[in-house]
Amino acid sequence: MQNNITREDLDALIAHLQQDDPILTQSANVRAFEQAWSEWVGVRHSVFVNSGSSANLLTMAALRERHGPGEVIVPTITWVSDIASVLHCGLTPVFVDIDPRTLGMDADEVLRKITPNTRAVFLTHVLGYNGLSRRLLDELQTRGIPLIEDVCEAHGATFQGRRLGSFGLASNFSFYYAHHLSTIEGGMVCTNDADLYETVRLLRSHGMVRELDSDSRKREYWDEFPDLNPEFIFALPAYNVRSSELNAILGLSQLKRLDETIERRNENLLLFLKNLDADVYQTDFALEGCSNYAFTLILRRPDEALMGRVMTALSTMGVEFRRGTSGGGNQVRQPYLRRLLGDDAWRAFPRADHVHFFGMYIGNYPTLQRDKILRLCDILNELAHQGT
Ligand SMILES: Cc1ncc(COP(=O)(O)O)c(C=O)c1O
């Protein structure tokens, strides 16, 4: 991977810092970034936080606040904080296997696992592939189950021409290093729901009523609690996961070229998949609406020897990769879940398990050169034939 922050972004920071008395804590630039992000995604409200994991946490906390305890249907391939946030909020994760063409959740299995206790489906768009289908959206709507989208790895990806992150009750983005847009650390919660928006604003900042957007809502609290100082009314037990003006300035600067960088990343992915040997490596991913974060390299068949050769070759060439793709592979194999689900739970998710052992992702970034991609494919294809 390569750093996504350019000289232009850094100059925007310096210009801010050169003012006589620059505001550094959450203020006008955070607001401006939230508004610009809402417009770009196509949602009414956005709340800037200090990481994608904080976005996950606030979304689950808001869901718990609204719907009480219950089950949340989650993927086996995702980032740890998607599951940890469910657990931290006293909700119960219910796992489903992946659809190999999107690496997202298998829609049939999601629908089979809905019960009267289901509070939400918390879906991840893995590495830029769209994880939604019309059937899933329609069924969830019919059954009244909220959808939460994790778009941390898929900024700008679309489904039926609309940006991901605009379909769910809420959606979460990460702006960590090497994501499509980076504010060093950072994240966003997006929603069209005015009540949820206000709850997330409270949760971001100690539960303080003065953080609410709506003056009439603030007034309701002032009237109800006349014994309290209006500056210090804590409506909910909450967190402090705010970010700063500096991170927002980076976000605003990067947003100007986000569409262009997404195009470059997608071109790179297409070149990579077109030149890989399709008999050996999976190349039939669902590319429509994709906004690639990193190249997916998954062996078609379990082959430990080939996987070993691939990893040795990549390490020797200094090509960064992560085994298991997003989040290191099958989450239910991780110690934090084994202690809840037992040591054998992974057996129920064979497709995620294949990716766990025979899949990886390789860094993709806008300035990655064409000839490097072609050479990488040549080497990977040659490795496949060395064992035969
Ligand atoms: C799918 C997914 N969700 C959530 C996160 C957490 O984001 P952050 O690293 O900003 O906490 C990540 C991390 O990159 C991710 O890939």
- The model's pLDDT over 258-272, given as tens digits with 9 standing for 90+, comes to 999 999 999 999 999
Out of 58, 79, 103, mutate this one to test ligand 1's pocket (max ligand atoms within 8 Å of CB): namely 79
Helical axes 7-17 vs 245-255, angle rounded to 10°: 140
- Which residues in 107-140 are b (16+ Cβ under 10 Å) and which e? bebbbebbeeebbbbbbbbbbbbbbbbeebbebb
Which ligand 1 atom sits closest to the C-alpha of 51? Answer: 10
Q: Which of 4-8, 15-19, 123-127, 183-187 has the lowest mean pLDDT?
A: 4-8
Counted residue by residue, the chain has a size of 388
Q: Choose among 244, 205, 386: nearest CA to 308.
A: 386
Say if residues 204 and 187 touch (Cβ distance below 8 Å): no
Burial of 198 (0-12, 13-18, 19+ CB in 10 A): buried
Q: What percent of the chain has pLDDT over 90?
A: 96
Residue 368 tokens read as 């990655």
Q: What is the pLDDT, as a whole number, of residue 187?
A: 98
82 Cβ inside 6 Å of ligand 1:
yes
pLDDT confidence of 386, banded at 50, 70, 90?
A: confident
Which residue pairs, CB below 8 angstroms and at least 24 apart, start in 373-380?
373/268, 373/271, 373/272, 373/275, 374/271, 374/275, 376/272, 376/317, 376/319, 377/272, 377/275, 377/276, 378/275, 379/313, 379/317, 380/276, 380/277, 380/281, 380/297, 380/310, 380/313
Burial of 69 (0-12, 13-18, 19+ CB in 10 A): exposed
Whole-angstrom distance, CA of residue 248 vs CA of residue 6: 15
Query: Looking only at Cα atoms, what is the longest distance across the chain?
Result: 80
Q: What is the pLDDT, as a whole number, of residue 2?
A: 76
- The model's pLDDT over 334-375, given as tens digits with 9 standing for 90+, comes to 999 999 999 999 999 999 999 999 999 999 998 999 999 999
- Which residues in 234-268 are b (16+ Cβ under 10 Å) and which e? ebeebbebbbbbbbbbbbbbbbebbeebbebbbbb
Across residues 12-31, what is the average pLDDT?
98
pLDDT confidence of 302, banded at 50, 70, 90?
A: very high
- The model's pLDDT over 60-99, given as tens digits with 9 standing for 90+, comes to 999 999 999 999 999 999 999 999 999 999 999 999 999 9
Beta bridge partners, 205, equal 240
Residue type, 363: G
Q: Which residues contact 179 (CB under 8 A, 6 or more apart)?
A: 4, 152, 153, 155, 293
Say if residues 300 and 360 touch (Cβ distance below 8 Å): no
- The model's pLDDT over 365-379, given as tens digits with 9 standing for 90+, comes to 989 999 999 999 999
Tell me how far the alpha carbon of residue 181 lies from the centroid of ligand 1, in angstroms.
Answer: 13
Q: Closest Cα to atom 8, ligand 1: which residue?
A: 52
Q: Closest Cα to atom 7, ligand 1: which residue?
A: 52
Q: Which residues contact 63 (CB under 8 A, 6 or more apart)?
A: 72, 89, 91, 119, 120, 146, 148, 170
Q: pLDDT at residue 388 above 70?
A: no
Q: What percent of the chain has pLDDT over 70?
A: 99
pLDDT confidence of 3, banded at 50, 70, 90?
A: confident
Q: What is the pLDDT, as a whole number, of residue 387?
A: 67
Average pLDDT, the chain: 97
pLDDT confidence of 213, banded at 50, 70, 90?
A: very high
Q: What is the pLDDT, as a whole number, of residue 194?
A: 98
60 Cβ inside 6 Å of ligand 1:
no
pLDDT confidence of 316, banded at 50, 70, 90?
A: very high
Q: What is the pLDDT, as a whole number, of residue 116?
A: 97
